[in-house]
Chains A and B, each alone.
Chain A
Amino acid sequence: MIRKVRPHITQNEDLIFERSSPGKIGYQLPALDVPAVDPKAALGSDNVRDEIADFPEVSEVEVIRHFTRLSTWNYAIDLGMYPLGSCTMKYNPRVNELVARLDGMAWAHPYQPEELSQGSMEVVAQLEQALLEITGLDAVTLQPAAGAHGELTGILLVRALLESRGNPRKRILVPDSAHGTNPATAMMAGYTVGNIKSNAKGLMDVEQLARIVDEDVAAVMVTNPSTLGVFEENIVQCAEILHAKGAMLYMDGANMNALVGLARPGDFGVDVMHINLHKTFSTPHGGGGPGGGPVAVTKALEPFLPTPRLAKKGADWTWNYDLPQSIGRVRAFYGNFGVLVRALAYIMAHGGPGLRNATIDALLNANYIRYKLAPYFDLPYDSPNMHEVVFSDQRQAKKGVRTGDMAKRLIDYGFHPYTVSFPTIVHGALMIEPTETESKMELDLFIDAMISIAKEVDDEPELLKNAPHLTRTKRVDETGAARRPVLRWNPK
């Protein structure tokens, strides 16, 4: 008996191109108040296109039905818990959406005069201030558009500082439990990548670190808490080892939701880090973006931050472009401003004490799941966890059921799957992050679902192999999609 969901009817819907018929329209422009120009005369006939073949022609009614129908095929936080480890899928407050759409915010042109942009700049200033307090670092840029973009910015900053000291060095070290973006970033910044093996606790091995950090190492990129959800207990020592060798500690802030108000990276030795506004600070994921990836740094790295930076000119805010040591721009304009608005609104809603309470609730939720599910699933690392918990499918694998199968079955119970097979240091990982915005009732439903699935593995493992069974779309053929890619619609 599944308590959370039962199937309901969803509408079928063709692609918009298949709904199209010549002559239908969904728009009306105002009457032109100037003479119409012949495009061929204005642009040259070679430069003017014919009508766009097969482009949609539909009415407004069809557009709203189209997207409403499609929307019902999605799972979403607004429907229920999203236990995706490492993704911090928390509630996205709606007031944030409202304030980002206020005319003065939404219609601000990035090149409008500074005296007519003071409101936007104040928002940037207040968010910068709050993020510095939260990270315990000295300076911050809000320009990067997402986490990986922040990583690139951060490593470029490291490189610029080391270069200014005479040697950019050669290598970035990354723990084997790291996100895939970390090594990809290091390469983009012109570094080679070395691996740090995790110790028996799944944490960075301090002795190994001391052994392998030499004058060629520019930085270590570490996620803290690690992707196991465990706080790097020797992080202060690790930072000391690095600093003694002139190397830097980069922190991937993907798991910052475990730390806000409890511990500050700047206080435990981090030199540079990025923050994911679309994780910790509640800006909506939107099916994969936009995000925001501010980068906070120590004093030593500040001169290299991307241009421009916000500064005071008398009582007013101004953009300072006079930054001779800057790494340059990483994005046009000032970053994903609309995302910054939402993040600040979130911080204001919680306030300082409230942010800490949110963090504690995130820890409580993860621990509650851990204690409730530990009898049913193998816990490969038993260090105390923070905001997420990682089980393995070791017990279920004996019955031929893997983490991916259980994840798909979870869909039938009305939940989005947890993160599957990551971190890779855990064989067959189930990585679960509830966030603070789940009620006890929702957590209990999740726990019941997981226990029920564990029982199904014993009783009828075949049930899990082809799950989900209750969705309108069944397991999709990803192999076929990759073998013969069809990446656009074509008329028959």
Chain B
Amino acid sequence: MRYLPKSDSERQEMLAACGFTRSEELFQQLPKDAVLDRPLNIAAGVSEYEIIDFFREQSARNANGYASFLGAGVYNHYRPVMADVVVSRGEFLTSYTPYQAEISQGTLTAIFEFQTMICQLTGMDVANASMYDGSTAVPEAAMMAVRITGRSKVLVSRTVHPEYREVLSTYARYQGMPVAEFGYVAGTGQVDLEDLGAKLDDDTAAVIVQSPNFFGIVDQVAEAARLAHQSGALLVLVFAEAVALGILEPSHEADIVAGELQSFAISPSYGGPYAGIIATHEKYVRQIPGRLVGQTVDMDGNRAYCLTLSTREQHIRREKATSNICTNQALIALMATVFLEVYGKQGLRELALQNLSKAHYLASKVKPHFTGPFFNEFVVSGNVEKVNQELLAKKIIGGYPLAKHYPELKDTMLVCATEMTKRESMDILAEALS
């Protein structure tokens, strides 16, 4: 087999060195009732060509060559060639977690740059080396707020991504962390500050809002933060569309930022792998979950990097750890790092402006359902099922219907336009919705 670098005679030689004659002796200690006495019912191995052929066939059964207005937490952004070139280098692709700093400076340096750029984008002092994704970063941020405040409850806006909220409630259920939701204003699509104010109490650890929110609207983070802080809670700011960071003023009021970086050169890939982040103020650094890279020096006095503050983590603190998280998303974070360095200061802003312009062009043809300011997606009303069916015939995937998560928003859908969305497709969508 091509992945097993031994000849049969080498195997025999090695068995003999161990004092065995047959390979079955290598597992003769297994209790009889534990041993599988038949071959696995999985087809015999196939060639590289057959593997590619199989996946090409499956790939062809998925959407191919469609234009798409889907966003809703996963965005179609152009992926610079450089991203795959870099992450395909075996030295990055096939290296382990950089515990051995002397031979991991490549990964460590890249993560240090990543942490720095996430801080620059979010306006925070500290960012971790990545989380699984945005949806799991949210409960981790909530748990962090619980540790910091010593309080137990979490209030989350209904404008936070519905699947993120579902993950939050799964995590919260058994941790004595009650989660309640607060509403949005029907006209603007922004958080209902009155509802928030009424639900806040002196056991609320965190108020969670998203901006741009699930409806694509830039939300009232400062106002929500003021209310949260008045009652001693922390404000957790969530983002799912990271490209917006290129144009939106970072929050000066948020205490913890939890976000999803899929927009930074990470392919949609049917939902993952992506990379999440948590960023916060320096004073909370010891409560941040996940890995952190810090700067130091080596014995020659040269600048070097290493994983640090690891006493927060499970492999040392075990049941007292800040989280059970072990893996981060280093390779995905590396893609995002390459993306940010390719686009740079000017590029990220121009990219964000293109997204803004495209979505506003679309909005000039199709009236948004909400009045709040939006970035690159917004909610439209109409006979969305029918419209989406019509569009499919024209090789266009329409928007994301909201009725499933928002019964009150029946006959609406979320449509997204990015730098990859062509004017002609937007005109077709507008036509179908009119």
Q: Do chains A and B touch in the complex (CB under 8 A)?
A: yes
Q: Does A352 lie within 8 Å of B58, measured CB to CB?
A: no
- Residues of chain B within 8 A (CB-CB) of A477 are 296-299
A48 within 8 A of B: yes
B349 within 8 A of A: yes
Query: What's the Cα separation between A471 and B250 when bound, in Å?
Result: 41
Nearest CB on B from A260, distance (A): 8
Query: What's the Cα separation between A487 and B5 when bound, in Å?
Result: 42
Q: A58-B344, A76-B95 are in contact. Are A332 and B164 (CB under 8 A)?
A: yes
From the candidates B29, B104, B357, name the one contacting A37 in the complex (CB within 8 A): B357
**Residue of chain A at shortest CB distance from B311:** A482
Q: Does B58 lie within 8 Å of A48, measured CB to CB?
A: no
Nearest CB on A from B350, distance (A): 6
B90 within 8 A of A: yes
Q: Does B31 lie within 8 Å of A235, measured CB to CB?
A: yes
Q: Does A181 lie within 8 Å of B308, measured CB to CB?
A: no
Q: A148-B325, A332-B164, A357-B4 are in contact. Are A486 and B294 (CB under 8 A)?
A: yes
**Residue of chain A at shortest CB distance from B59:** A104
**Residue of chain A at shortest CB distance from B414:** A111
From the candidates A100, A286, A440, name the one contacting B14 in the complex (CB within 8 A): A440
- Residues of chain A within 8 A (CB-CB) of B348 are 52, 55
Query: What's the Cα separation between A473 and B297 when bound, in Å?
Result: 9
Nearest CB on A from B413, distance (A): 10
From the candidates A30, A42, A282, A438, name the one contacting B356 in the complex (CB within 8 A): A42
Query: What's the Cα separation between A197 and B273 when bound, in Å?
Result: 38
- Residues of chain B within 8 A (CB-CB) of A400 are none
B392 within 8 A of A: yes
Interface string of A102-120 (1 = CB under 8 A from B): 1111111111110011111
Q: Does B36 lie within 8 Å of A76, measured CB to CB?
A: no
Interface string of A132-174 (1 = CB under 8 A from B): 0110100000000111110110001001000000000000000
Q: A58-B341, A488-B127 are in contact. Are A181 and B324 (CB under 8 A)?
A: yes
Other 10 A-B pairs with CB < 8 A, given A134-B42, A261-B36: A26-B82, A34-B361, A64-B82, A78-B94, A99-B52, A110-B268, A181-B324, A183-B318, A288-B98, A289-B332
From the candidates A17, A92, A145, name the one contacting B272 in the complex (CB within 8 A): A145
- Residues of chain B within 8 A (CB-CB) of A60 are 82, 342
Q: Does A117 lie within 8 Å of B270, measured CB to CB?
A: yes
- Residues of chain B within 8 A (CB-CB) of A63 are 82, 338, 341-342
Interface-facing stretch out of B151-159, B171-179, B202-210, B229-237: B171-179
Query: What's the Cα separation between A89 and B96 when bound, in Å?
Result: 8
Interface string of B128-148 (1 = CB under 8 A from A): 011011111000000000000
Q: Does A287 lie within 8 Å of B273, measured CB to CB?
A: no
B249 within 8 A of A: yes
Query: What's the Cα separation between A438 and B6 when bound, in Å?
Result: 8
B354 within 8 A of A: yes
Query: What's the Cα separation between A43 and B359 when bound, in Å?
Result: 12
**Residue of chain B at shortest CB distance from A408:** B102
Query: What's the Cα separation between A351 and B305 when bound, in Å?
Result: 42
A175 within 8 A of B: no
Nearest CB on A from B297, distance (A): 6
Q: Does A488 lie within 8 Å of B126, measured CB to CB?
A: yes
Query: What's the Cα separation between A43 and B18 when bound, in Å?
Result: 71
From the candidates A130, A145, A347, A350, name the one contacting B132 in the complex (CB within 8 A): A145
Q: Does A104 lie within 8 Å of B218, measured CB to CB?
A: no
Q: Does A473 lie within 8 Å of B345, measured CB to CB?
A: no
Query: What's the Cα separation between A368 and B111 when bound, in Å?
Result: 37
Nearest CB on B from A291, distance (A): 4
A336 within 8 A of B: yes
Q: Does B273 lie within 8 Å of A339, measured CB to CB?
A: yes
Q: Does B109 lie within 8 Å of A180, measured CB to CB?
A: no
- Residues of chain B within 8 A (CB-CB) of A87 are 96
Pairs A-B, 3 closest by C-beta atoms: A333-B271, A286-B331, A104-B59
Q: A110-B74, A287-B98 are in contact. Are A55 and B117 (CB under 8 A)?
A: yes
B408 within 8 A of A: no
- In this complex, the interface size class of chain A, counting residues with CB under 8 Å from chain B, is 35 or more
Q: A39-B353, A67-B86 are in contact. Are A329 and B135 (CB under 8 A)?
A: yes
A360 within 8 A of B: yes
Q: Does A481 lie within 8 Å of B295, measured CB to CB?
A: yes
A399 within 8 A of B: no
Q: Does B54 lie within 8 Å of A348, measured CB to CB?
A: yes
Q: A70-B105, A184-B324, A332-B133 are in contact. Are A352 and B43 (CB under 8 A)?
A: yes
Nearest CB on A from B307, distance (A): 8
Query: What's the Cα separation between A51 and B247 when bound, in Å?
Result: 8
List residues of B (271-308) whose CB comes within 8 Å of A's CBs: 271-273, 275, 285, 291-300, 302, 304-306, 308
Query: What's the Cα separation between A435 and B95 when bound, in Å?
Result: 15
- Residues of chain B within 8 A (CB-CB) of A104 are 58-64
Query: What's the Cα separation between A171 and B414 when bound, in Å?
Result: 45
B interface residues, how many (CB within 8 angstroms): 197
- Residues of chain B within 8 A (CB-CB) of A82 are 96
Listed residue (A24, A54, A73) with the most chain B CB atoms within 10 angstroms of its CB: A73
Query: What's the Cα separation between A252 and B17 when bound, in Å?
Result: 32
From the candidates B88, B115, B309, B349, name the one contacting A482 in the complex (CB within 8 A): B309
Nearest CB on B from A136, distance (A): 8
Interface string of A346-373 (1 = CB under 8 A from B): 0111111111111011011101101110
List residues of A (35-49) whose CB comes within 8 Å of B's CBs: 35-37, 39, 42-44, 46-49
Nearest CB on A from B131, distance (A): 9
From the candidates A100, A290, A411, name the one contacting B102 in the complex (CB within 8 A): A411
Nearest CB on B from A94, distance (A): 9
- Residues of chain A within 8 A (CB-CB) of B84 are 101
- Residues of chain A within 8 A (CB-CB) of B321 are 180, 184, 187
Query: What's the Cα separation between A16 and B97 when bound, in Å?
Result: 22
**Residue of chain B at shortest CB distance from A120:** B270
Listed residue (B36, B98, B327) with the most chain A CB atoms within 10 angstroms of its CB: B327
Query: What's the Cα separation between A99 and B172 when bound, in Å?
Result: 37
Listed residue (B31, B64, B96, B304) with the most chain A CB atoms within 10 angstroms of its CB: B96
Q: A56-B345, A109-B268, A352-B42 are in contact. Are A103 and B59 (CB under 8 A)?
A: yes
Interface string of B399-428 (1 = CB under 8 A from A): 010000000000000000001001100100
List residues of B (1-54) whose CB comes within 8 Å of A's CBs: 1-6, 10-11, 13-15, 17-20, 23, 26-31, 33-36, 39-46, 48, 50-52, 54
A257 within 8 A of B: no
B121 within 8 A of A: yes
Q: Does B167 lie within 8 Å of A329, measured CB to CB?
A: yes
Nearest CB on B from A429, distance (A): 14
Q: Does B167 lie within 8 Å of A332, measured CB to CB?
A: yes
Q: A75-B100, A113-B397 are in contact. Are A103 and B64 (CB under 8 A)?
A: yes
**Residue of chain A at shortest CB distance from B129:** A288
Q: A120-B58, A278-B327, A337-B271 are in contact. Are A263 and B35 (CB under 8 A)?
A: yes
Q: A56-B340, A186-B319, A478-B296 are in contact. Are A73 and B106 (CB under 8 A)?
A: yes
Q: A36-B353, A110-B271, A353-B40 are in contact. Are A187 and B319 (CB under 8 A)?
A: yes
Q: A71-B92, A262-B35, A364-B26 are in contact. Are A109 and B106 (CB under 8 A)?
A: no
